[in-house]
Amino acid sequence: MRFAKIKILVICLLIIFNFGISSNAEETDFELHLLDVGQGLSILVKVDDHYLLYDGGGAKTSSFVVSYLRTQGVIDLDYIVVSHYDEDHLNGIIGALHAFDCATVLAPDYIPDTDIYASYISAIQKKGVSVIYPEKGDVYTLGNASIVIVGPTSYNNASENNNCISLYIEYGDFRYLLCGDMESEGEEDIINSNDDMSCDLYVVNHHGSASSSSFYFLNHVLPKYALLSCGAYNAYNHPSVETMERLRNIDCELYRTDKQGTIIAYSDGNTLWFNVAPSTDWSGGSSLGGGDIAGVTSLGSTTYVCNMNTYKFHYEYCDSVNKMKEENKMITNESRDTLIAQGFEPCKNCCP
pLDDT tens per residue across span 268-298: 999 999 999 999 999 998 544 433 333 333 3
Q: CA 57 to CA 35: how far, in whole Å?
A: 9
Q: CA 79 to CA 179: how far, in whole Å?
A: 16
Residue 156 dihedral angles phi and psi, to the nearest 5°: -110, 25
| pLDDT given for residue 315 in this prediction | 84
Q: Rounded to whole angstroms, what are the CA distances from 233 to 51, 163, 305?
A: 31, 27, 13
pLDDT tens per residue across span 26-67: 467 999 999 999 999 999 999 999 999 999 999 999 999 999
| pLDDT given for residue 2 in this prediction | 52
| pLDDT given for residue 342 in this prediction | 66
Say if CB 168 and CB 150 are below 8 A apart.
yes
Strand order in the sheet with 253-256: 139-142, 145-151, 166-171, 174-178, 201-203, 225-228, 253-256
Single pTM value for the model: 0.76
Q: Going from the N-terminus, what domains does the chain have, and what CATH number goes with each?
A: 27-287 (3.60.15.10), 299-346 (no CATH)
| pLDDT given for residue 21 in this prediction | 32
| pLDDT given for residue 319 in this prediction | 77
In the chain, the largest separation of any two C-alpha atoms, in whole Å, equals 82
| pLDDT given for residue 301 in this prediction | 59
Say if CB 283 and CB 315 are below 8 A apart.
no
Nearest to 142 by CA among 101, 104, 116: 104
pLDDT < 70 positions in the chain = 1-27, 286-301, 338, 341-342
Contacts of 297 (CB under 8 A, 6+ apart): 283, 286, 287, 290, 291, 334, 338
DSSP assigned state of 254: E
| pLDDT given for residue 206 in this prediction | 98
